[in-house]
Amino acid sequence: MAQLLQLENRGVVRLSGPDSRSLLQGLITNDIDNLNGNAALYAGLLTPQGKFLFDMIIVADGDDLLLDIEAERKDDLVRRLMMYKLRADVIIADDQASVWALFDGDAQSGISYPDPRHKSLHKRVISTENPAPDAAELTFEEYEQRRIRHGIPDGSRDMAVEKYFWLETGAEKLNGVSFTKGCFVGQELTARMKHRMSLKKQLVAMKAEGSVQSGDTIKAESGKPAGEIRSVAGAYFLAFIRLEYLDQPLNAEGILVSPVSAAP
């Protein structure tokens, strides 16, 4: 049976005008040329040093582009895009539509698209009204557990702004970066990390044998800090952690924690 959840922490920005695609192509980590039909694109907008600023899911609405982004940081993203716009023929506007997560069903209104990050998150819908009135409620806790178990970050809740490198967020396995498209902001360091360096830290899905909280420090058996807990849903959480410690006993405030096996 279909299940539906309005993602109240997400918002929408609309890009209109003939230069919309070329503007984004020079900025974001993914290849806008792969945005066809109802396929969506996951991408980041980075600092010149390759660190996270914003993430977004992009979908086409006719000739326009809709950016599914963090609601609380929508104005910040608009200002950043305006800074890069210069003389490009693009209108960047707040869109009042809502973002919905839809499992096991089809939308009756709005723009529906498979979540490009992982098939387990089924579909997202951008709509000004309830896109599936007959669907059962999908609780936020259920959605969060599935998201976290698959190692999928949710904006700045999980990715520290201007601190985490894009590849440290798991962006490559979540289809969030193209290494063939050419230049984008932060491209040089992102490519260097891919081809010349091994990651030392990364966002990882983990499970606790007790109650943990966002912000708790994860410690190795030796007592050394190994990482930090980001968002939590039940026993599952995302942690930004030094990879060298993952094969060792770990705890957060005395609670045993361990990596989650890769979910299908």
Q: Are strands 136-137 and 3-6 parallel, antiparallel or unpaired?
A: parallel
Over residues 185-232, the pLDDT tens digits come to 999 999 999 888 779 999 999 999 999 999 999 999 999 999 999 999
Angstrom distance (rounded) from CA 103 to CA 228: 31
Strand partners of residue 207: 236, 258
Would you state the pLDDT for residue 264? Answer: 59
Q: What is the pLDDT of residue 263?
A: 59
User: Distances from the Cα of 52 to the Cαs of 21, 104, 195, 213, in angstroms?
Assistant: 21, 32, 19, 23
Domains, the chain, with CATH or none: 3-136 (3.30.1360.120), 155-259 (2.40.30.160)
Write down the pTM of the prediction: 0.95
Alpha carbon of residue 39 to chain centroid:
16
Query: What's the CA gap between 197 and 243, in Å, rounded?
Result: 14
Q: What is the DSSP letter of 121?
A: G
- CA nearest 190: which of 166, 169, 171? 166
In sequence order, what are the beta bridge partners of 102? 4, 123
Measured distance CA(137)–CA(135) in Å, rounded: 7
Residues of the chain with pLDDT under 70: 262-264
